[in-house]
Amino acid sequence: MGGGGNMSAPAAKIEEKKNPLQRAPTSKPPFTIGDIKKAIPPHCFERSFIRSFSYLAQDLILVFISYYIASTYFHLLPFPYSYLAWPVYWVVQGSVCAGIWFIAHECSHTAFSDYQWINDTIGFFLHSALLTPYFSWKYSHRRHHSNTNSLEHDENHVPKLKTKLRWYTKLYLDNSLARAFILVFTLTAGLPLYYAFNITGRPYDGFASHYYPYSPIYNDRERLQIYISDAGIIATFYLLYRAAVTQGITWLICIYGVPLLIWNGFVVLITTLHHAHPSLPHYDSSEWNWLRGALATVDRDYGVLNKVLHNITDTHVLHHLFSYIPHYHAMEATIAIKPLLGEYYQFDDTPFYKAMWRNFKDCLYVEKDEQGIFWFK
């Protein structure tokens, strides 16, 4: 499937950007998607169900161990150790569950195995358990990959033009306290609101929701699977309700509710920082094409979390070029394509907490600088 490093186009020279905010090139790349594919070792395109499942099993074991320790021993700890133990559990459990969420994300891209029914079955159960409507999200996310950084057709994280900013935006532009509130609200409530009401999504005529089978997001062939996604969410809510009845609402919040906020926060944080960046262009229909859009994303370094989150963080450029490459080959493939991409490869090592704060100040709207090309201001 790959050419083992043979390239028909000359590799662009790599120079580390001294300033990660320096604008990415918008000229036509001197390579094609075929050239990029040839640069990747062929084995990177191979998907192994056994290997993929081993990463899932590892995560599930960590989830069970964390749950067992918290539910069995935390109440035995003397004050104040019990109050210190719970935040540790929330962070660990939330982070590992975020990794599971991204394994389900790989299922939606057929990167988990060679068999679609296995991918969809595992992805459906994992995402449903994490309160994500699997098929609904799979189809909207597929359209995001097909239209990345298109102002008219990208599916999520679509920036607004300055002329279309809402009236309340100016209230937190230069107000740190208000910006902190919006940041926390976005990380905790942003993903459920996106699922339910298409917040930050592409504008549609009519009611757009991941739970509504007749939403304009979906076509007629997809509507049955939206019902199935809804059934998975309803089943999870029922199990959570039964847990609350038998164990108590406080127990449910501590065991499941707070980690839920953390893994949702990770999904919002990661996707936002990959696509909302001062160095990345957005295009209107006069300039957009698939390769330009796919290259308009940025890799980041989250330290040890790179492994916990299965390298979705530091191989996202590759992911938008070849989303079916499994995460355990993604770093090798990224290293292989960087010499060819050259200045078209974007990386920012700004700590994620600093980057998120910066984004909520500097990436609120876009303006046109060139014909059909828009930048954050």
Q: What does the pLDDT look like over 84-126, one tens digit per residue? A: 999 999 999 999 999 999 999 999 999 999 999 999 999 999 9
In which band, very low, low, confident or very high, does the pLDDT at 20 lie, cut at 50, 70 and 90?
confident
36 within 8 A of 368, measured Cβ to Cβ: no
Please tell me the predicted confidence (pLDDT) of residue 15: 43
In a domain, 169, yes or no: no
For residue 370, being part of any structural domain is answered with no
| Cα maximum dimension of the chain | 66
The tokens describing 268, both together, are 């919002």
Given strand 282-283, what is the order of strands in its sheet? 160-161, 365-370, 373-376, 282-283
| Average pLDDT in the chain | 92
Read off the tokens for 283. 């295009």
57: in domain? yes
Percentage of the chain exceeding pLDDT 70: 95
122 lies in a domain?
yes
pLDDT band at 157 (very low <50, low <70, confident <90, very high): confident
Q: Which of 54-63, 71-80, 175-184, 248-257 has the lowest mean pLDDT?
A: 175-184
Give the per-residue pLDDT at 325: 98
Pairing of β 347-348 and β 282-283: unpaired
Per the structure, the count of domains in the chain is 1
Per the domain annotation, does 130 fall within a domain?
yes
251 found inside a domain = yes
261-301 pLDDT tens trace: 999 999 999 999 999 999 999 999 999 999 999 999 999 99
Number of separate helices (H) and strands (E) present in the chain: 15, 6
Other CB atoms within a 10 A radius of the CB of residue 56 amount to 19
Q: What is the pTM of this model?
A: 0.93
For residue 95, what are the domain limits? Answer: 41-159+175-269+304-348
Please report whether residue 152 resides in a domain: yes
What pLDDT score was predicted for residue 178? 86
Residue 66: pLDDT band (50, 70, 90) is: very high
Q: Is residue 294 in a domain?
A: no
At 1 the pLDDT is 41
CA-CA-CA-CA dihedral for 235, 240, 246, 251, to nearest 10: 170
Over residues 145-153, mean pLDDT:
96
